[in-house]
Amino acid sequence: MTRLTCSDTRPSTNRAESASRHFRRAATRYENHISDHRRPRTGHGREIPMDVIETIPEAVPRFPEEETVGPGGERVLPSILLPDGSLAAGASSPMSDEQLLEALALMTRSRLVDERGVSYQRQGRIGTFSEVRGQEAASAGSSLALDPGKDWIAQSYRELPALLRYGLSLTTYWTLFIGHPGGWKYPDGMRVLPLQIELATQLPHAAGIAWGLKLKKEPGVVLGYFGDGASSEGDFYEAGNLAGVLDAPLVLFCQNNGWAISTPTDRQTKVTNIAAKATAFGIPGVVVDGNDVMAVYAATREAVDRAESGAGPTLIEAKTYRLGAHNTSDEPRRYRENAAVTEWEQLDPLVRLRRHLTARGLWDDQRDAEFRKTALSEIDAHFNEALAVAGKRSPEMLFDHVYAEPTTRMRIQRDTILDEE
């Protein structure tokens, strides 16, 4: 761990000012790191020439009318809820009306948080922000197949609907993005691991918790979220292999949005479907329409039931698309085709679900407008609460919630900061 010093700053007797200075310096180092890595690169880290990026083609996946088997033995499931809001021929909803309305609420609230988050970041009120926009059905549908009272979530950083489903306060959420370390601390009893930006590093933890549940003979499964880029990391393979050998109750859930920042999926893996990698673990692999909340729910529910029965893990690949940038430090127009974005916008999961519920008389424009107005008011209120919390910070908070017991090196660093105030 790098020793933190403030030799280049003037001593301050104001603890709030000192804390703010330390947090700003940490944020600047992080932004510099992001600025270097935001440049479009290959999976091996080499920067991609801009003329190559501009010609990268994109293909919108087409799902079969009936279940098929992919090139690697993975199951490819048909869509249930079609883009126009109707059900596929012969299909029925695996979700109750109450679940569908809850999914709509989670997805809508997440979309509104995205709008505010990008705005707040542009105003300099929060740090780098990653939208969920376009991927809401994947995390909403999968989380609704879980039981917050016994099942665990190991998140990445694009799963807000799932966090809301598990009861995360938006005050805590905003506190993190404002830059207060208290935002990393979730309430006791909330079975969600902290936000993880480093790719796939949450998955070994997910496998470990799942193994622990099995050893202790406790009920529950663990769902580990990760993106397509994370499927190229060693942690993904180690977690999948360990869970497969142990028949641990783990669901590996890949949100394949087509892009690992600026690297398209076909430039980081040769397989047609990431779900085919399940073969290496000796577990089932499933491909599902990630913009179809019903199909996602059904696939996840099946995987959860399988894990609970003792049959072991499942790898689910939800094919979806991030309609926005990788994060607010990214400019996707430098490497993505506008035509592909337009085509994916026609498959918007939120619009798809809203159309379905409206056609059935369970939703309408008036209810939608009222819900949005109330949700935006709540989002803003939580942000103001977070601002108040973030104003009460001090330098020693940098070391809270890192280890249960601080290491000797951490104590030295902490004392150095406090001595220099």
Mind telling me the catalytic residues? Answer: 322, 326, 335
CB 58 within 8 A of CB 336: yes
Q: Which neighbouring-strand residues pair with 286?
A: 75, 316
Element (H, E) at 223: strand 222-227
Q: Are strands 250-256 and 314-319 parallel, antiparallel or unpaired?
A: parallel
d(Cα 56, Cα 42) in Å, to the nearest integer?
A: 12
Q: Does residue 197 come out as left (phi exceeding 0), alpha (psi in the -120 to 50 range) or beta? A: alpha
* DSSP structural state of residue 122: H
- 251: its two tokens: 């669901």
Please report where in the chains the tokens 């990760």 appear, as a residue. 226
CB atoms within 10 A of CB 293: 33
Residue 138, amino acid: A
Could you tell me where the beta strands, DSSP code E, fall in 249-398?
A: 250-256, 259-260, 263-264, 285-289, 314-319
Overall residue count recorded for the chain in this entry: 421
- 176: its two tokens: 């993190």
3-state secondary structure (DSSP) of residue 252: strand
- 160 contacts: CB under 8 Å, gap ≥ 6: 110, 113, 114, 132, 139, 173
Q: What are phi and psi of 108, to 5 degrees?
A: -65, -45
Q: What are phi and psi of 69, to 5 degrees?
A: -115, 130
Please report where in the chains the tokens 């309305």 appear, as a residue. 101
- 185 contacts: CB under 8 Å, gap ≥ 6: 172, 400, 401
Element (H, E) at 225: strand 222-227
